[in-house]
Amino acid sequence: MEKSILITGGARSGKSTLAERLALRPTGRAVYIATAEAYDAEMEARIAEHRARRGPEWHNLAAPLDLVGALEASDGGDPRLVDCLTLWLTNLMLGGHDWRVEADRLVVALSRQQAPVLFVTNEVGAGIVPENRLAREFRDAAGWLNQSVAGACEAVFLCVAGYPIKVKPNEHSF
Amino acid sequence: MEKSILITGGARSGKSTLAERLALRPTGRAVYIATAEAYDAEMEARIAEHRARRGPEWHNLAAPLDLVGALEASDGGDPRLVDCLTLWLTNLMLGGHDWRVEADRLVVALSRQQAPVLFVTNEVGAGIVPENRLAREFRDAAGWLNQSVAGACEAVFLCVAGYPIKVKPNEHSF
Amino acid sequence: MEKSILITGGARSGKSTLAERLALRPTGRAVYIATAEAYDAEMEARIAEHRARRGPEWHNLAAPLDLVGALEASDGGDPRLVDCLTLWLTNLMLGGHDWRVEADRLVVALSRQQAPVLFVTNEVGAGIVPENRLAREFRDAAGWLNQSVAGACEAVFLCVAGYPIKVKPNEHSF
Protein backbone atom coordinates (compact mmCIF):
# COMPACT_ATOMS: atom_id res chain seq x y z
CA MET A 1 0.00 0.00 0.00
CA GLU A 2 1.24 3.50 -0.82
CA LYS A 3 2.15 5.56 2.24
CA SER A 4 0.04 8.55 1.15
CA ILE A 5 -3.02 8.54 -1.08
CA LEU A 6 -5.38 11.30 -2.23
CA ILE A 7 -8.87 10.33 -3.39
CA THR A 8 -10.79 13.08 -5.15
CA GLY A 9 -14.15 13.18 -6.95
CA GLY A 10 -17.51 14.88 -7.14
CA ALA A 11 -20.24 14.70 -4.52
CA ARG A 12 -21.49 11.15 -3.90
CA SER A 13 -18.94 9.63 -6.22
CA GLY A 14 -18.00 6.93 -3.70
CA LYS A 15 -14.78 8.54 -2.44
CA SER A 16 -15.28 7.83 1.27
CA THR A 17 -16.34 4.22 0.75
CA LEU A 18 -13.26 3.54 -1.37
CA ALA A 19 -10.98 5.31 1.07
CA GLU A 20 -12.40 3.32 3.99
CA ARG A 21 -11.87 0.04 2.18
CA LEU A 22 -8.26 0.96 1.37
CA ALA A 23 -7.54 2.21 4.88
CA LEU A 24 -8.62 -1.08 6.52
CA ARG A 25 -6.61 -3.27 4.18
CA PRO A 26 -3.23 -3.42 5.95
CA THR A 27 -4.32 -4.23 9.53
CA GLY A 28 -8.12 -4.43 9.56
CA ARG A 29 -8.14 -1.34 11.77
CA ALA A 30 -7.81 2.34 11.01
CA VAL A 31 -8.08 5.84 12.46
CA TYR A 32 -10.81 8.08 11.12
CA ILE A 33 -9.88 11.78 11.31
CA ALA A 34 -13.07 13.76 10.74
CA THR A 35 -12.72 17.40 9.73
CA ALA A 36 -16.49 18.02 9.70
CA GLU A 37 -18.17 20.34 12.15
CA ALA A 38 -21.93 20.18 12.46
CA TYR A 39 -23.12 23.73 11.81
CA ASP A 40 -26.71 22.67 11.12
CA ALA A 41 -29.08 19.71 11.03
CA GLU A 42 -28.22 18.83 7.43
CA MET A 43 -24.54 18.53 8.24
CA GLU A 44 -25.31 16.59 11.42
CA ALA A 45 -27.28 14.08 9.36
CA ARG A 46 -24.34 13.67 6.95
CA ILE A 47 -21.89 13.10 9.79
CA ALA A 48 -24.20 10.56 11.45
CA GLU A 49 -24.68 8.74 8.16
CA HIS A 50 -20.92 8.46 7.58
CA ARG A 51 -20.30 7.32 11.15
CA ALA A 52 -23.07 4.72 10.98
CA ARG A 53 -21.37 3.08 7.99
CA ARG A 54 -18.16 2.60 9.95
CA GLY A 55 -17.81 -0.14 12.58
CA PRO A 56 -15.77 -0.79 15.77
CA GLU A 57 -12.61 -1.33 13.72
CA TRP A 58 -12.39 2.47 13.51
CA HIS A 59 -10.85 4.77 16.08
CA ASN A 60 -12.46 8.20 15.65
CA LEU A 61 -10.69 11.55 15.98
CA ALA A 62 -12.04 15.03 15.28
CA ALA A 63 -9.78 17.64 13.68
CA PRO A 64 -11.78 20.52 12.29
CA LEU A 65 -8.66 22.75 12.32
CA ASP A 66 -5.59 21.03 13.81
CA LEU A 67 -5.12 18.34 11.19
CA VAL A 68 -1.35 18.31 11.59
CA GLY A 69 -1.73 17.73 15.34
CA ALA A 70 -4.14 14.84 14.73
CA LEU A 71 -1.76 13.21 12.23
CA GLU A 72 1.16 13.50 14.62
CA ALA A 73 -0.83 12.22 17.60
CA SER A 74 -2.04 9.18 15.66
CA ASP A 75 1.20 8.22 13.90
CA GLY A 76 3.06 4.94 14.26
CA GLY A 77 0.20 2.44 14.09
CA ASP A 78 -2.80 1.89 11.85
CA PRO A 79 -3.53 3.86 8.67
CA ARG A 80 -5.24 7.23 9.07
CA LEU A 81 -8.11 8.40 6.87
CA VAL A 82 -8.68 12.18 6.69
CA ASP A 83 -12.25 12.93 5.54
CA CYS A 84 -12.19 15.49 4.05
CA LEU A 85 -9.80 18.23 2.94
CA THR A 86 -12.51 20.52 1.55
CA LEU A 87 -14.29 20.70 4.92
CA TRP A 88 -10.96 21.38 6.60
CA LEU A 89 -10.39 24.21 4.11
CA THR A 90 -13.89 25.55 4.84
CA ASN A 91 -13.18 25.56 8.58
CA LEU A 92 -9.84 27.33 8.06
CA MET A 93 -11.37 30.02 5.84
CA LEU A 94 -14.41 30.57 8.08
CA GLY A 95 -12.12 30.80 11.10
CA GLY A 96 -9.94 33.44 9.47
CA HIS A 97 -6.84 31.21 9.29
CA ASP A 98 -4.32 31.41 6.46
CA TRP A 99 -5.06 28.21 4.57
CA ARG A 100 -1.85 28.50 2.50
CA VAL A 101 0.28 28.39 5.65
CA GLU A 102 -1.73 25.45 6.97
CA ALA A 103 -1.48 23.62 3.65
CA ASP A 104 2.31 24.03 3.70
CA ARG A 105 2.43 22.74 7.28
CA LEU A 106 0.35 19.74 6.22
CA VAL A 107 2.68 18.90 3.34
CA VAL A 108 5.71 19.09 5.62
CA ALA A 109 4.01 16.98 8.30
CA LEU A 110 3.02 14.41 5.70
CA SER A 111 6.65 13.82 4.78
CA ARG A 112 7.37 12.89 8.41
CA GLN A 113 4.56 10.31 8.84
CA GLN A 114 5.41 6.65 9.46
CA ALA A 115 1.93 5.11 9.16
CA PRO A 116 -0.11 5.48 5.96
CA VAL A 117 -2.37 8.49 5.41
CA LEU A 118 -5.36 8.62 3.05
CA PHE A 119 -7.02 11.92 2.17
CA VAL A 120 -10.51 12.35 0.77
CA THR A 121 -11.21 15.60 -1.07
CA ASN A 122 -13.76 17.08 -3.47
CA GLU A 123 -13.72 18.23 -7.06
CA VAL A 124 -15.54 21.58 -6.92
CA GLY A 125 -14.17 23.38 -9.98
CA ALA A 126 -15.84 21.64 -12.94
CA GLY A 127 -19.11 23.56 -12.91
CA ILE A 128 -19.92 26.98 -14.24
CA VAL A 129 -17.99 29.91 -12.66
CA PRO A 130 -19.97 30.85 -9.51
CA GLU A 131 -21.50 34.33 -9.42
CA ASN A 132 -20.65 34.61 -5.73
CA ARG A 133 -17.13 35.95 -5.09
CA LEU A 134 -16.59 33.89 -1.94
CA ALA A 135 -17.57 30.76 -3.84
CA ARG A 136 -15.00 31.60 -6.52
CA GLU A 137 -12.30 32.12 -3.90
CA PHE A 138 -13.22 28.85 -2.23
CA ARG A 139 -13.09 26.86 -5.45
CA ASP A 140 -9.72 28.39 -6.32
CA ALA A 141 -8.38 27.57 -2.86
CA ALA A 142 -9.75 24.02 -3.04
CA GLY A 143 -8.04 23.53 -6.40
CA TRP A 144 -4.70 24.79 -5.05
CA LEU A 145 -5.01 22.64 -1.92
CA ASN A 146 -5.78 19.54 -3.97
CA GLN A 147 -2.77 20.19 -6.23
CA SER A 148 -0.55 20.78 -3.25
CA VAL A 149 -1.55 17.60 -1.40
CA ALA A 150 -1.58 15.58 -4.64
CA GLY A 151 2.00 16.69 -5.27
CA ALA A 152 3.02 15.36 -1.85
CA CYS A 153 1.12 12.05 -2.10
CA GLU A 154 2.44 8.84 -3.67
CA ALA A 155 -0.89 8.04 -5.33
CA VAL A 156 -3.91 10.02 -6.52
CA PHE A 157 -7.27 8.61 -7.63
CA LEU A 158 -10.28 10.29 -9.24
CA CYS A 159 -13.51 8.59 -8.21
CA VAL A 160 -16.38 8.36 -10.75
CA ALA A 161 -19.69 6.59 -10.00
CA GLY A 162 -18.01 4.53 -7.29
CA TYR A 163 -14.94 3.48 -9.30
CA PRO A 164 -11.39 4.89 -9.18
CA ILE A 165 -9.34 6.22 -12.08
CA LYS A 166 -5.62 6.32 -11.26
CA VAL A 167 -4.31 9.84 -11.81
CA LYS A 168 -0.86 9.49 -10.19
CA PRO A 169 1.32 7.77 -11.01
CA ASN A 170 0.21 6.94 -14.51
CA GLU A 171 1.97 6.35 -17.80
CA HIS A 172 1.11 9.85 -19.03
CA SER A 173 2.82 11.86 -16.28
CA PHE A 174 4.90 14.65 -17.74
CA MET B 1 -20.26 -5.89 -26.51
CA GLU B 2 -20.92 -5.73 -22.79
CA LYS B 3 -24.53 -6.48 -21.84
CA SER B 4 -24.87 -3.33 -19.70
CA ILE B 5 -22.96 -0.07 -20.05
CA LEU B 6 -23.15 3.24 -18.18
CA ILE B 7 -21.84 6.37 -19.91
CA THR B 8 -21.46 9.40 -17.66
CA GLY B 9 -20.01 12.87 -18.20
CA GLY B 10 -20.67 16.58 -17.96
CA ALA B 11 -23.10 18.55 -20.12
CA ARG B 12 -22.24 18.40 -23.84
CA SER B 13 -19.40 15.98 -23.28
CA GLY B 14 -20.52 13.74 -26.14
CA LYS B 15 -22.20 11.05 -24.02
CA SER B 16 -25.30 10.55 -26.18
CA THR B 17 -23.36 10.44 -29.46
CA LEU B 18 -21.03 7.79 -28.08
CA ALA B 19 -23.89 5.79 -26.62
CA GLU B 20 -25.77 5.87 -29.93
CA ARG B 21 -22.73 4.64 -31.83
CA LEU B 22 -22.24 1.78 -29.36
CA ALA B 23 -25.93 0.85 -29.34
CA LEU B 24 -26.08 0.45 -33.13
CA ARG B 25 -22.95 -1.68 -33.36
CA PRO B 26 -24.37 -5.20 -32.84
CA THR B 27 -27.32 -5.15 -35.27
CA GLY B 28 -27.41 -1.71 -36.91
CA ARG B 29 -30.72 -1.11 -35.13
CA ALA B 30 -31.56 -0.04 -31.61
CA VAL B 31 -34.34 1.07 -29.29
CA TYR B 32 -34.16 4.62 -27.93
CA ILE B 33 -35.83 4.93 -24.52
CA ALA B 34 -36.27 8.65 -23.84
CA THR B 35 -36.86 9.72 -20.25
CA ALA B 36 -37.24 13.41 -21.14
CA GLU B 37 -40.49 15.26 -20.71
CA ALA B 38 -40.84 18.64 -22.39
CA TYR B 39 -41.77 21.02 -19.57
CA ASP B 40 -40.82 24.10 -21.58
CA ALA B 41 -39.60 25.33 -24.96
CA GLU B 42 -35.93 24.94 -24.05
CA MET B 43 -36.41 21.27 -23.20
CA GLU B 44 -38.52 20.74 -26.32
CA ALA B 45 -35.68 22.11 -28.44
CA ARG B 46 -33.21 19.73 -26.79
CA ILE B 47 -35.47 16.74 -27.38
CA ALA B 48 -36.01 17.71 -31.03
CA GLU B 49 -32.28 18.18 -31.53
CA HIS B 50 -31.50 14.73 -30.10
CA ARG B 51 -34.24 13.09 -32.17
CA ALA B 52 -33.11 14.82 -35.37
CA ARG B 53 -29.66 13.28 -34.99
CA ARG B 54 -31.11 9.78 -34.94
CA GLY B 55 -32.37 8.07 -38.10
CA PRO B 56 -34.90 5.36 -39.05
CA GLU B 57 -32.69 2.65 -37.54
CA TRP B 58 -34.07 3.75 -34.17
CA HIS B 59 -37.29 2.58 -32.58
CA ASN B 60 -38.39 5.30 -30.12
CA LEU B 61 -40.02 4.70 -26.73
CA ALA B 62 -40.89 7.25 -24.06
CA ALA B 63 -40.44 6.31 -20.39
CA PRO B 64 -40.44 9.40 -18.19
CA LEU B 65 -41.29 7.24 -15.15
CA ASP B 66 -41.77 3.56 -15.97
CA LEU B 67 -38.26 2.73 -17.11
CA VAL B 68 -38.47 -0.84 -15.83
CA GLY B 69 -41.64 -1.39 -17.87
CA ALA B 70 -39.98 -0.02 -21.01
CA LEU B 71 -36.94 -2.27 -20.54
CA GLU B 72 -39.11 -5.35 -20.05
CA ALA B 73 -41.37 -4.51 -23.00
CA SER B 74 -38.40 -4.03 -25.34
CA ASP B 75 -36.25 -6.99 -24.25
CA GLY B 76 -35.16 -9.86 -26.46
CA GLY B 77 -34.06 -8.03 -29.61
CA ASP B 78 -31.91 -4.99 -30.39
CA PRO B 79 -29.90 -3.03 -27.82
CA ARG B 80 -31.71 -0.42 -25.78
CA LEU B 81 -30.33 3.04 -25.06
CA VAL B 82 -31.76 4.85 -22.01
CA ASP B 83 -31.17 8.62 -22.31
CA CYS B 84 -30.89 9.70 -19.58
CA LEU B 85 -30.91 8.62 -15.92
CA THR B 86 -30.72 12.14 -14.50
CA LEU B 87 -33.92 13.20 -16.29
CA TRP B 88 -35.61 10.01 -15.07
CA LEU B 89 -34.50 10.92 -11.53
CA THR B 90 -35.85 14.45 -11.99
CA ASN B 91 -39.22 13.08 -13.09
CA LEU B 92 -39.35 10.68 -10.13
CA MET B 93 -38.50 13.40 -7.62
CA LEU B 94 -40.91 15.96 -9.14
CA GLY B 95 -43.66 13.33 -9.19
CA GLY B 96 -43.20 12.52 -5.51
CA HIS B 97 -41.97 8.95 -6.16
CA ASP B 98 -39.37 7.22 -3.99
CA TRP B 99 -36.36 7.19 -6.28
CA ARG B 100 -34.46 4.75 -4.04
CA VAL B 101 -37.20 2.14 -4.48
CA GLU B 102 -37.25 2.77 -8.24
CA ALA B 103 -33.46 2.57 -8.47
CA ASP B 104 -33.52 -0.79 -6.68
CA ARG B 105 -36.23 -2.04 -9.05
CA LEU B 106 -34.11 -0.90 -11.99
CA VAL B 107 -31.03 -2.77 -10.76
CA VAL B 108 -33.07 -5.95 -10.26
CA ALA B 109 -34.70 -5.59 -13.70
CA LEU B 110 -31.30 -5.02 -15.29
CA SER B 111 -30.06 -8.39 -14.06
CA ARG B 112 -32.94 -10.08 -15.92
CA GLN B 113 -32.40 -8.42 -19.33
CA GLN B 114 -31.40 -10.53 -22.34
CA ALA B 115 -30.63 -7.76 -24.87
CA PRO B 116 -27.95 -5.14 -24.14
CA VAL B 117 -28.81 -1.95 -22.24
CA LEU B 118 -26.84 1.31 -22.39
CA PHE B 119 -27.48 4.12 -19.93
CA VAL B 120 -26.53 7.76 -20.37
CA THR B 121 -26.24 9.83 -17.20
CA ASN B 122 -24.77 13.14 -16.04
CA GLU B 123 -21.98 14.19 -13.71
CA VAL B 124 -23.59 16.94 -11.62
CA GLY B 125 -21.49 16.85 -8.44
CA ALA B 126 -18.16 18.39 -9.45
CA GLY B 127 -19.13 22.04 -9.08
CA ILE B 128 -19.35 24.19 -5.99
CA VAL B 129 -21.93 23.06 -3.39
CA PRO B 130 -25.27 24.60 -4.51
CA GLU B 131 -26.87 27.14 -2.18
CA ASN B 132 -30.30 25.73 -2.98
CA ARG B 133 -31.29 22.82 -0.75
CA LEU B 134 -33.29 21.02 -3.45
CA ALA B 135 -30.31 21.26 -5.78
CA ARG B 136 -28.10 19.68 -3.08
CA GLU B 137 -30.60 16.86 -2.58
CA PHE B 138 -30.78 16.29 -6.33
CA ARG B 139 -27.03 16.13 -6.77
CA ASP B 140 -26.74 13.70 -3.87
CA ALA B 141 -29.49 11.52 -5.33
CA ALA B 142 -27.89 11.65 -8.80
CA GLY B 143 -24.57 10.54 -7.32
CA TRP B 144 -26.18 7.63 -5.47
CA LEU B 145 -28.15 6.59 -8.56
CA ASN B 146 -25.02 6.67 -10.71
CA GLN B 147 -23.12 4.54 -8.19
CA SER B 148 -25.98 2.12 -7.95
CA VAL B 149 -26.38 1.62 -11.71
CA ALA B 150 -22.60 1.61 -12.23
CA GLY B 151 -22.33 -1.19 -9.70
CA ALA B 152 -24.84 -3.23 -11.70
CA CYS B 153 -23.31 -2.54 -15.14
CA GLU B 154 -20.51 -4.51 -16.75
CA ALA B 155 -18.80 -1.39 -18.09
CA VAL B 156 -18.66 2.29 -17.12
CA PHE B 157 -17.21 5.14 -19.18
CA LEU B 158 -16.56 8.79 -18.32
CA CYS B 159 -16.93 11.01 -21.37
CA VAL B 160 -14.64 14.08 -21.71
CA ALA B 161 -14.71 16.40 -24.73
CA GLY B 162 -16.25 13.64 -26.85
CA TYR B 163 -13.87 10.86 -25.83
CA PRO B 164 -14.41 8.01 -23.34
CA ILE B 165 -12.25 7.12 -20.34
CA LYS B 166 -12.88 3.57 -19.14
CA VAL B 167 -13.81 3.63 -15.46
CA LYS B 168 -14.98 0.01 -15.03
CA PRO B 169 -13.43 -2.41 -15.36
CA ASN B 170 -9.96 -0.99 -15.19
CA GLU B 171 -6.66 -2.17 -13.78
CA HIS B 172 -7.05 0.00 -10.68
CA SER B 173 -10.31 -1.46 -9.37
CA PHE B 174 -10.09 -2.16 -5.65
CA MET C 1 5.46 15.93 -29.43
CA GLU C 2 1.96 15.87 -30.90
CA LYS C 3 1.27 18.77 -33.26
CA SER C 4 -1.99 19.73 -31.52
CA ILE C 5 -2.95 19.12 -27.91
CA LEU C 6 -6.04 20.06 -25.87
CA ILE C 7 -5.72 20.20 -22.07
CA THR C 8 -9.00 20.44 -20.21
CA GLY C 9 -9.90 20.36 -16.51
CA GLY C 10 -11.69 22.15 -13.72
CA ALA C 11 -10.64 25.46 -12.17
CA ARG C 12 -7.16 25.33 -10.59
CA SER C 13 -6.54 21.79 -11.74
CA GLY C 14 -3.05 22.64 -13.02
CA LYS C 15 -3.94 22.90 -16.72
CA SER C 16 -1.88 25.99 -17.52
CA THR C 17 1.21 24.80 -15.67
CA LEU C 18 1.15 21.49 -17.53
CA ALA C 19 0.54 23.20 -20.87
CA GLU C 20 3.44 25.59 -20.29
CA ARG C 21 5.79 22.74 -19.45
CA LEU C 22 4.76 20.86 -22.61
CA ALA C 23 4.99 23.94 -24.82
CA LEU C 24 8.59 24.67 -23.80
CA ARG C 25 9.79 21.12 -24.33
CA PRO C 26 10.75 21.16 -28.03
CA THR C 27 12.83 24.36 -28.23
CA GLY C 28 12.87 25.91 -24.74
CA ARG C 29 10.88 28.82 -26.15
CA ALA C 30 7.20 29.28 -26.89
CA VAL C 31 4.52 31.78 -27.86
CA TYR C 32 1.83 32.54 -25.31
CA ILE C 33 -1.47 33.53 -26.93
CA ALA C 34 -3.64 35.05 -24.22
CA THR C 35 -7.37 35.26 -24.86
CA ALA C 36 -8.10 37.02 -21.55
CA GLU C 37 -9.40 40.55 -21.38
CA ALA C 38 -9.26 42.33 -18.04
CA TYR C 39 -12.84 43.44 -17.40
CA ASP C 40 -12.28 43.97 -13.68
CA ALA C 41 -9.67 43.91 -10.94
CA GLU C 42 -10.21 40.22 -10.18
CA MET C 43 -9.48 39.27 -13.79
CA GLU C 44 -6.48 41.62 -13.88
CA ALA C 45 -5.03 39.86 -10.85
CA ARG C 46 -5.46 36.47 -12.54
CA ILE C 47 -3.74 37.67 -15.71
CA ALA C 48 -0.85 39.19 -13.75
CA GLU C 49 -0.46 35.99 -11.73
CA HIS C 50 -0.29 33.84 -14.88
CA ARG C 51 2.17 36.23 -16.55
CA ALA C 52 4.41 36.36 -13.48
CA ARG C 53 4.82 32.58 -13.61
CA ARG C 54 6.16 32.77 -17.16
CA GLY C 55 9.72 33.97 -17.91
CA PRO C 56 11.60 35.58 -20.81
CA GLU C 57 11.43 32.34 -22.83
CA TRP C 58 7.87 33.35 -23.68
CA HIS C 59 6.78 35.65 -26.49
CA ASN C 60 3.38 37.09 -25.53
CA LEU C 61 0.49 37.74 -27.91
CA ALA C 62 -3.05 38.88 -27.08
CA ALA C 63 -5.98 37.46 -29.05
CA PRO C 64 -9.25 38.07 -27.26
CA LEU C 65 -11.16 37.53 -30.54
CA ASP C 66 -8.89 36.92 -33.54
CA LEU C 67 -7.39 33.62 -32.49
CA VAL C 68 -7.07 32.37 -36.06
CA GLY C 69 -5.11 35.49 -36.99
CA ALA C 70 -2.77 35.03 -34.02
CA LEU C 71 -2.13 31.39 -34.94
CA GLU C 72 -1.38 32.27 -38.54
CA ALA C 73 0.86 35.21 -37.61
CA SER C 74 2.89 33.06 -35.20
CA ASP C 75 3.21 29.89 -37.29
CA GLY C 76 6.47 28.34 -38.48
CA GLY C 77 8.59 28.55 -35.33
CA ASP C 78 8.12 27.73 -31.67
CA PRO C 79 5.06 26.01 -30.18
CA ARG C 80 2.06 28.19 -29.42
CA LEU C 81 0.01 27.92 -26.23
CA VAL C 82 -3.56 29.26 -26.37
CA ASP C 83 -4.84 30.03 -22.86
CA CYS C 84 -7.77 29.61 -22.84
CA LEU C 85 -10.63 28.58 -25.12
CA THR C 86 -13.38 29.30 -22.59
CA LEU C 87 -12.31 32.95 -22.26
CA TRP C 88 -12.17 33.20 -26.06
CA LEU C 89 -15.72 31.80 -26.18
CA THR C 90 -16.81 34.32 -23.53
CA ASN C 91 -15.37 37.19 -25.58
CA LEU C 92 -17.08 35.94 -28.75
CA MET C 93 -20.45 35.59 -27.05
CA LEU C 94 -20.22 38.94 -25.24
CA GLY C 95 -19.21 40.62 -28.51
CA GLY C 96 -22.19 39.21 -30.37
CA HIS C 97 -20.08 37.01 -32.70
CA ASP C 98 -21.24 33.63 -33.96
CA TRP C 99 -19.03 31.27 -31.96
CA ARG C 100 -19.98 28.29 -34.15
CA VAL C 101 -18.59 30.02 -37.24
CA GLU C 102 -15.44 31.01 -35.34
CA ALA C 103 -15.00 27.48 -33.97
CA ASP C 104 -15.23 26.07 -37.50
CA ARG C 105 -12.66 28.60 -38.72
CA LEU C 106 -10.37 27.59 -35.85
CA VAL C 107 -10.62 23.90 -36.71
CA VAL C 108 -9.81 24.62 -40.37
CA ALA C 109 -6.89 26.90 -39.43
CA LEU C 110 -5.56 24.25 -37.05
CA SER C 111 -5.23 21.74 -39.87
CA ARG C 112 -2.95 24.19 -41.72
CA GLN C 113 -0.52 24.89 -38.85
CA GLN C 114 3.14 23.85 -39.13
CA ALA C 115 4.31 24.55 -35.57
CA PRO C 116 2.66 22.82 -32.59
CA VAL C 117 -0.41 24.32 -30.91
CA LEU C 118 -1.55 23.62 -27.34
CA PHE C 119 -4.98 24.67 -26.14
CA VAL C 120 -6.06 25.10 -22.53
CA THR C 121 -9.78 24.90 -21.84
CA ASN C 122 -12.17 24.43 -18.90
CA GLU C 123 -14.60 21.75 -17.82
CA VAL C 124 -17.71 23.75 -16.87
CA GLY C 125 -20.49 21.17 -17.32
CA ALA C 126 -20.06 18.80 -14.38
CA GLY C 127 -21.96 20.81 -11.79
CA ILE C 128 -25.65 21.16 -11.20
CA VAL C 129 -27.67 22.69 -14.11
CA PRO C 130 -27.41 26.49 -13.66
CA GLU C 131 -30.64 28.38 -12.95
CA ASN C 132 -29.46 31.23 -15.18
CA ARG C 133 -30.32 30.74 -18.86
CA LEU C 134 -27.20 32.50 -20.16
CA ALA C 135 -25.07 30.27 -17.94
CA ARG C 136 -26.78 27.19 -19.43
CA GLU C 137 -26.15 28.46 -22.97
CA PHE C 138 -22.53 29.16 -22.13
CA ARG C 139 -21.92 25.73 -20.66
CA ASP C 140 -23.54 24.10 -23.69
CA ALA C 141 -21.40 26.20 -26.04
CA ALA C 142 -18.25 25.42 -24.04
CA GLY C 143 -19.02 21.71 -24.26
CA TRP C 144 -19.52 21.87 -28.04
CA LEU C 145 -16.38 23.93 -28.51
CA ASN C 146 -14.33 21.49 -26.44
CA GLN C 147 -15.66 18.53 -28.45
CA SER C 148 -14.98 20.32 -31.70
CA VAL C 149 -11.38 21.25 -30.87
CA ALA C 150 -10.75 17.85 -29.24
CA GLY C 151 -11.88 16.19 -32.46
CA ALA C 152 -9.31 18.21 -34.40
CA CYS C 153 -6.41 17.69 -31.95
CA GLU C 154 -4.01 14.75 -31.94
CA ALA C 155 -4.03 14.47 -28.15
CA VAL C 156 -6.43 15.39 -25.34
CA PHE C 157 -5.68 15.38 -21.62
CA LEU C 158 -7.95 15.83 -18.60
CA CYS C 159 -6.13 17.50 -15.73
CA VAL C 160 -6.99 16.48 -12.13
CA ALA C 161 -5.21 17.90 -9.07
CA GLY C 162 -2.21 18.81 -11.20
CA TYR C 163 -1.87 15.47 -13.04
CA PRO C 164 -2.99 14.56 -16.57
CA ILE C 165 -5.24 11.69 -17.62
CA LYS C 166 -4.89 10.86 -21.32
CA VAL C 167 -8.29 11.03 -22.98
CA LYS C 168 -7.23 10.84 -26.64
CA PRO C 169 -5.85 8.65 -27.98
CA ASN C 170 -6.45 5.87 -25.49
CA GLU C 171 -7.08 2.17 -25.76
CA HIS C 172 -10.82 2.62 -25.20
CA SER C 173 -11.55 4.89 -28.18
CA PHE C 174 -14.60 3.71 -30.07
pLDDT, one tens digit for every residue, chain A (174 residues) = 899 999 999 999 999 999 999 999 999 999 999 999 877 888 888 778 877 878 899 999 999 999 999 999 999 999 999 999 999 999 999 999 999 999 999 999 999 999 999 999 999 999 999 999 999 999 999 999 999 999 999 999 999 999 999 999 976 655
Q: What is the pLDDT of residues C134-157, one digit of tens each?
A: 999 999 999 999 999 999 999 999
Give me the pLDDT at residue C54, please: 86
Greater confidence, A116 or B47? A116
The pLDDT value recorded for residue C174 is 56
Angstrom CA distances, A104 to A99, A113, A144, A148, A149, stand at 9, 15, 11, 8, 9
Best-predicted range by mean pLDDT (A37-46, B40-49, B75-84): B75-84
Interface B:C, Cβ pairs < 8 A = 90
Residues of chain B numbered 105-124 and touching chain C (CB < 8 Å): 123-124
**Interface-testing mutation among C99, C128, C129, with chain B (most B C-beta atoms within 10 A):** C128
- Residue-level pLDDT at A85: 98
What are the chain A neighbours of B128 within 8 Å (beta carbons)? 124-125, 127, 130, 135, 138-139
Closest-CA residue in chain C for B133?
C128
Fold of A4-168: Rossmann fold (3.40.50)
User: Residue C79 carries which side chain, given as an amino acid letter?
Assistant: P
* CB contacts, 8 Å: A10 with chain C: 126
CA distance A132 to chain B (A): 10
pLDDT tens by residue, A45-62: 877 887 787 889 999 999
Per-residue pLDDT, A118: 98
C22-168 is classed in which CATH architecture? 3-Layer(aba) Sandwich (3.40)
The residue among B46 and C150 whose pLDDT is bigger is C150
- Cite the active site residues of C: 50
pLDDT band at B50 (very low <50, low <70, confident <90, very high): confident
pLDDT value for A172: 64
Residues of A in contact with C163 (CB under 8 A): 150, 156, 167-168, 170, 173
pLDDT score, position C42: 82
Cβ neighbour number for residue A162 with a 10 Å cutoff: 23
Tell me the per-residue pLDDT of B144-174, one tens digit each, with 9 for 90 and over: 999 999 999 999 999 999 999 999 997 665 5
- What pLDDT was estimated at residue A41? 87
Residue A123, judged by CB atoms within 10 A of its CB (0-12, 13-18, 19+), counts as: buried
Residues 6+ apart with CB under 8 A from C120: C7, C8, C15, C16, C19, C81, C82, C83, C84, C85
DSSP strand pairing (A163-168 vs A155-160): antiparallel
Instruction: Say whether B53 counts as a known binding-site residue.
Output: yes
In the prediction, which pLDDT does B47 show?
79
Report the distance separating Cα B154 and Cα B150, nearest Å: 8
- A132-152, pLDDT tens digit by residue? 999 999 999 999 999 999 999
At C47, the pLDDT band (50, 70, 90 cuts) reads: confident
A104 CB-near residues (< 8 Å, 6+ apart):
A148
- C163 and A146 within 8 Å at the Cβ level: the answer is no
Closest residue in C to B130 (Cα–Cα):
C128
CA distance A162 to B4: 16
Task: Please compute the mean of the pLDDT values over residues C114-138 and round it to a whole number.
Answer: 96
CA dist., res. A43 & res. A36, Å (int): 8
- Is some CB atom of chain A closer than 8 A to the CB atom of B128? yes
Q: Cβ distance A121 to A6 under 8 Å? A: yes
Give mean pLDDT, residues B68-74.
98
Active site residue A50: yes
B36 marked as binding residue? yes
Q: Verify whether the Cβ–Cβ distance C140 to B11 is below 8 Å.
A: yes
Q: Tell whether A10 is in a known binding site.
A: yes
> How much is the pLDDT for A124?
96
Give pLDDT, residue A115: 97
C159 touches chain B (CB under 8 A): no
pLDDT of B70 higher than 90:
yes
Numbers of helices and strands, H then E, in chain C: 6, 7
Q: Where are the domains of chain C?
A: 22-168
B12 and C142 in contact by Cβ < 8 A? yes
Confidence of residue C49 (pLDDT cuts 50, 70, 90): confident
Give Cα A120 to chain centroid, integer Å.
Answer: 3
| pLDDT higher than threshold 80 for residue C50 | no
Q: How far apart are CA B14 and CA B17, in angstroms?
A: 5
